[in-house]
Amino acid sequence: MGKSKKTFFAFLILTVTLTFGQGKTSEIGFISDNDLYTSSKNDMYYTNGLEIFYRFLSKNENPKINKKVTEFRIGQYIYNPRFINKEAEYVSDRPFTAYLFAEAGRSFFYQSESVLKTDFQLGFMGPNALGEETQVGFHNLIGYKKVYGWEHQLHNAFGIQAHVMYAKKMFPSKHNDFIDLYFQSEGRLGTIYTGVSTGFMARFGFKRLTPIYNSNMYHASVNSEAQPNIREFYFYMAPSVNYQFYDATIEGSLFNHTNPITFDLVPLRFNGEAGLKYRHNNFNISYSFLYRGRESKGDVNDTNRGYFYGSIRMGFLLR
């Protein structure tokens, strides 16, 4: 073999090695929440959510931290009363409203397998959040029932939110390849939501569990090093207790007392989440079932109750 051919094949091998040996340092994807993902008859309270995200690996020089991840996202949440038909237009147990926001956050994944997530949001609640246009347009598109009552929606309010979540691995000395348990707590402070939650998260692997700092559980799939033929597939559950001090989507804005329909909070709630998460190389997908305890005291008939919805997440890892 001539020298030129040897040089060419060496260059080709080096190119292939670098191409397939590089890590995937960013991820783009979406989250879609809807109560129709659990039942065609269940369409109430938190009725729809859509988020688009982009996250990437950040510089890290702390030996105690496995990786830092920066994330940006935009999203919209839409809220309705239990009944949205014409006959129930003036019988309400939750205000019509929406929340539209932009978010920036940073996550810290420690070598000890603890996780710290922080984020900050700016947005709008009320007509500026375009909830009526989104819901009415979607219902018209799929031929679903007409929505009545948006003329009574909450007034505009500016949203500033901060959020922090910390998860700590329980019983780290008793390692198990297919089961792990985390204690997690989080808090939200702002002009739209203020509250705290605490509970547990457990993973039950159908395959050997990936360490949490590389897992899609808390969105840590991005990595500077190549992860050839990596797979995750597990069931998880996360029960929690929530104490909500304030919720503008139920009580109206702190700075505007002219809203047509508002309700008092039920501050102490039980929440639950369970689902399946899967990853194959550069593709992440999950389905979650979420239950939320009774949030407001409703109207004079006190019809408000706990509810549930489904969440679909999909992400693609990029170089």
Task: Give the residue with greater pLDDT, 257 vs 231.
Answer: 231
Whether the per-residue pLDDT at 136 is higher than 50: the answer is yes
Each residue's pLDDT tens digit, 259-296: 888 999 999 999 999 999 999 999 999 999 999 999 98
Residue 164 has pLDDT above 60, yes or no: yes
The lowest-confidence range among 46-50, 156-160, 224-228 is 224-228
Domain 23-318 class?
mainly beta
134 secondary structure, DSSP code? H
CA distances from 12 to 6, 7, 19, 171 (A): 10, 9, 10, 48
When the pLDDT of each residue in the chain is averaged and rounded to a whole number, the result is 89
For the stretch 57-97, pLDDT in tens is 999 999 999 999 999 999 999 999 887 776 666 677 889 99
3-state secondary structure of 98: strand
Q: Where are the domains of the chain?
A: 23-318
Model confidence band, residue 14 (pLDDT cutoffs 50, 70, 90): very low
Number of C-beta neighbours around residue 138 at 10 A: 15
Widest CA span of the chain, in angstroms?
90
Whether the predicted pLDDT of 302 surpasses 70: no
- Mean pLDDT, residues 172-196 taken together: 96
Determine the average pLDDT of the residues in 165-182.
Answer: 95
- Helix/strand/coil for 81: coil
**What global pTM score does this model have?**
0.90
Q: What pLDDT is recorded for position 89?
A: 61
CA distances (Å), origin 130, targets 80, 147, 253? 14, 15, 17
> CB-based contacts of 144: which residues, under 8 Å, 6+ apart?
138
Residue 2 has pLDDT above 90, yes or no: no
The yes-or-no verdict on residue 50 having pLDDT over 80 is: yes
CB atoms within 10 A of CB 13: 10
DSSP annotation string for 205-261: ESSPPPPTTTSTTTT----SB--TT-EEEEEEE--EEEEEEEEHHHH--TT----S-
Pick the closest to residue 296 from 319, 263, 269, 268 (CA basis): 263
pLDDT of 213: 97
CA dihedral sign, ordered 257, 263, 265, 271: negative
Spatial separation of the C-alpha atoms in residues 69 and 28, rounded to whole Å:
13
C-alpha–C-alpha distance, residues 264 and 138, integer Å = 30
